[in-house]
Every structure is written in C-alpha cells, then in structure tokens.
Amino acid sequence: MRFIDEVEITCVSGRGGDGSLSFRREPYTPRGGPDGGDGGRGGNVVLVATRRLNTLYHLRGTRLYPAKDGGGGGAKNMTGRNGKDRVIEVPVGTVIRDMDEGVQVADLAEEGRVAVVCRGGRGGRGNSHFKSSTNRTPRQVEHGGAAIERRLGLELKLLADVGLLGFPNAGKSTLISRISRAKPKVADYPFTTLVPNLGVVSPGGEESFVVADIPGLVAGASEGIGLGHRFLRHVERCSFLLHMVSAMEIGEAVEDPLERYEALVRELAAFSEKLASRTQIPVLTKVDLLTDEELAPLLQRFEEQIGMRPWCISSVSGQGIDALVGECARRLRSMLEVDEE
C-alpha cells in the first residue's frame, strides 16, 4: 500500500425531505383535517478517526462522498425516513481543512474522535403544522433543507513522541531498526527512506514510546527541494526532535557535521516557527569511524557554538544507543509529569 498523507475530497450532505400535503380521507369522515407529515432529515457526512488505518490511500480513488437524502413526509402524519449518514474513516492524526474558506475544520488526533463536516438538510414541515382556526384546509408545506457541499483537504500528521531528522544517509533508518521492530529500508546510499516510518521503543523498565523516522532533508527543503519537506508536518506533534548528523561517511569525509546541524536547524525555522521551537537534541552518528583524537575536538566545537555536546552513537556497534534511548524516556517522563501538574 502506498503512503498517502494528503488528499482532497468533496463531501455533500443529504437534502431534507419535503413536507406532505395531505388531508384525512376515511369513511364517515368527509371533512377530515390536514394530516401531511414532515420530511425526514438529510444524512450527515461524518469523519471518524481510527487506528486501523495509517494512510489516506483508501480515499485516493474516490473524490465525491454524498450522504443520502431524507424521505418526503406522508399522509396520516407519517414522517419521512431520515437520510443515512455517510461515515468516512480516516487515520488518527488527520487534520481537516475547508479548501474554499481556508480554515481548519477539525483535528482528529484521538481514536474515535468524530467530526461532522456537512450537516444534512432539515426536513420540511407538512401541512398539518399550518392549520388554524381561520385556515382549516392549509395547502402550504415546507420544502426540505438544502444539501451542503464542502471541498475538504485532509492532511495526515503522524503521532509520534520523538522525531528523527537528518540529511540523507545520516543513519536514521538504521537507528530505528536497532531500537524498535520497524524494518525500514537500509542501504549505503542516500534517500533509501521515501516515506516516514514509525517504531515503538520499549526500554527496559520504562513505558514505551513512538519514534518517527522522516525521509532525509536536503538544503532548501523548506522551499520544496527534495523529499523531506513533504513530511516535516509529521514531526510537528513530536515532543522533541533528534537531529541525526553523520560524523563521517564510509570511505570519504563529508562536509563539517556542525555545519550540517546548523543547516538543518535553519530549514526547520524556515518551514515552521512552531516546529523550530521544539526541543532539539543533536546526535552524532557513525562515531565508530572516528578515533577518540578525531572526535574530541568535534565535540568541543559543538559545545562552544551551540551550547551543548551531541550524543554520540554507532548503530553498527551499538555504542551509546542504550544511553540515548534512556535519555529519550527520561525526557518524555519529565514532560508528562509537567503536564499532569
């Protein structure tokens, strides 16, 4: 199944049923009064969040989602049937926007959360409602309420506690495969990750948390260059971000790791001020390729220029991974305690 995180659909609610124009006609009741029933309510269009889905792919092929119209009223004050609602399931984390008005309609960030995006038309009143002492045989009825049509944009934002960001080949996929059961594609060339991956991390004695691996960014990502800009929205919900910076590629040196870290910070700021305000932790990967003499001055430069030392890990040897996972669990636990207060 393809990973689809943006779709545009048109939803149309059901039209309300018309009220009935009817008079009572029975034996021995030659002058029966009005008995026209009301029309039924039109169906609503409802979006429901479910964890059974993790992509919007099922909405890709169909663009129009109509609900059923309400039935017309009948004689003997019979009310028309209500139109059946159109229920559309979407993944948890889906944001709904009105494309014509440019406003957010709902954020379905929890399992079972419901958004009524188009309400069905009200059923029209039958002529029995209009009788009076001066109007014994009313012939006026109400038409059912009109249907509502709405063009909606659906945008999926994955729910994760920790986001992994970095330029291509920084070791994000390798790390998430080491600390969780996620099985992303891992290779020694850039852009092996083409869609976000989620992994559940369960450190010993700690509550589990979810990590999101976002496809590699490139310089200018905030302006639409490369792949990563399409998926930055998926880390907007993360509690904090791990900036993965490769210390060295196998066989050749890369540009200065500190410069790469600062470039990544600039891309986040250009994309979203809200995202840039998230706690950002530098993580230096592939440190097994450096000697202690080569690593020490690099760590010192990080501390001097950004005010913190990066966490050093090697997904191949396992160096520093347990400590990093423990730090993530500690930070998440502290944030939870603050929220509870």
DSSP of 265-277? HHHHHHH-HHHHT
Are the C-beta atoms of 236 and 272 separated by less than 8 Å? yes
Band (pLDDT 50/70/90 cuts) for residue 90 is very high
pLDDT at residue 234, as a whole number: 72
Q: What is residue 136's predicted lDDT score, i.e. its pLDDT?
A: 87
The confidence score (pLDDT) of residue 202 equals 83
Output the pLDDT for position 231. 66
Domains of the chain: 6-156 (2.70.210.12), 162-340 (3.40.50.300)
Any idea which of 47-61, 198-212, 244-258 has the lowest mean pLDDT? Answer: 244-258
* Lowest-pLDDT range of 64-73, 187-196, 240-249, 296-305: 187-196
The two structure tokens encoding residue 159: 């729910």
Q: Once rounded to an integer, what is the mean pLDDT over residues 32-60?
A: 91
As a whole number, mean pLDDT of residues 221-248 equals 70
Backbone angles phi, psi at 164, to 5 degrees: -100, 120
Question: What's the N-to-C CA distance of the chain in angstroms?
Answer: 42
Which residue in 22, 53, 17 sits closest to 36, CA to CA?
A: 22
DSSP tag of 128: G
Q: Which of 62-66, 86-90, 242-246, 261-265 has the lowest mean pLDDT?
A: 261-265
Q: One-letter amino acid identity for 111?
A: E
Strand arrangement of the beta sheet that strand 209-213 belongs to: 197-201, 209-213, 162-166, 240-246, 279-285, 311-312
- H-assigned helices in 132-251: 172-179
Q: Is the pTM for the entire model greater than 0.85?
A: no
Report the 10 Å Cβ neighbour count for 227: 17
Q: How far apart are CA 229 and CA 190, in angstroms?
A: 16
In percent, the amount of the chain with pLDDT more than 90 equals: 38
Per-residue pLDDT, 277: 81
Residue 1 has pLDDT above 70, yes or no: no
pLDDT-derived band at 55 (thresholds 50, 70, 90) equals confident
Confidence check: pLDDT of 224 > 70: no
Helix, strand, coil content of the chain in percent (nearest 5) = 25, 25, 50
Q: Which 3 state secondary structure label does DSSP give 120? A: coil
pLDDT at 214 over 80: no
**In the predicted model, is pLDDT for residue 244 greater than 60?**
yes
Confidence at residue 295, expressed as pLDDT on a 0 to 100 scale: 87
Residues 59-83 have pLDDT tens digits of 988 899 999 999 999 999 999 999 9
Please indicate whether residue 219 or residue 265 has the higher confidence score (pLDDT): 265
Judge whether residue 187 has pLDDT over 70. Answer: no
Lowest mean pLDDT among 35-49, 99-113, 116-130, 155-169: 155-169
Tell me, what's the pLDDT at 20?
A: 95
pLDDT of residue 184: 53
> In terms of pLDDT, which residue wins out, 285 or 235?
285
Question: For residues 180 and 66, which has the higher predicted lDDT (pLDDT)?
Answer: 66
With cut-offs at 50, 70 and 90, classify the pLDDT of residue 94: very high
Q: What is the mean pLDDT of the chain?
A: 83
The pLDDT score that the predictor gives to residue 50 is: 92
CB 108 within 8 A of CB 115: yes
